[in-house]
Amino acid sequence: MLKQGEYLNYEIKNHGIGGATMLRFGSPNLWPLLDSLQNYRPDIVIIKAGTNETVGSPRLNWEHINEFERDYSDYISQIRKINPDCRIVICSPLDRVIQTDALSSERKEDLSGRRPRIWELRKRIKKIARSEQVSFLDLTKPFEGKANLMTLSDGVHPNRDGYQYLATLVFDYLVKNRIVLK
């Protein structure tokens, strides 16, 4: 339940798949989630995709990045078929935080190479939001350089404080944009 002050009566379900991509080509991808959404029929859907699209060999997601916008728009279309009145918020991926303590030199090199892709995907997702007339929540800029919010050894996944910060960003966005109401 969403319980923050007087905002009540919102049931929250996480249908995410770790390591998944929006790309139909990718494995794992988010497309099987549509079956569970069909049964749940949500009023609000928040999508955060893009992190795993930056991966190259052996998964080759980045090599299929030209399919990203089409696949993302098709995914939104499928959600609208499930519930035409659903409010959809699409989020940019979190920034890579390369200055995170305990990163190996190999990990720093990998993240440094993939970091520009995150910022490119942020632009692409913002463009998708405009063309699909859905809400856009920028999560890239708020995490920029915030090593204290990231898991020490990977620079990609939030730690406990990072997830709390992420939840606050999402909640504040939903309230500010009147997506959740009192």
Rounded CA separation 53/123 (Å) = 14
Residue ranges covered by each domain of the chain: 33-176
Sorting pLDDT into bands at 50, 70 and 90, what band is 86?
Answer: very high
Helices marked H in the chain:
33-40, 68-82, 105-132, 140-143, 160-176
pLDDT tens track for 30-53: 999 999 898 888 999 999 999 999
- For 56-71, the pLDDT digits (tens) are 889 999 999 999 999 9
Domain 33-176 has CATH 3.40.50.1110: yes
Residue 72 has pLDDT above 60, yes or no: yes
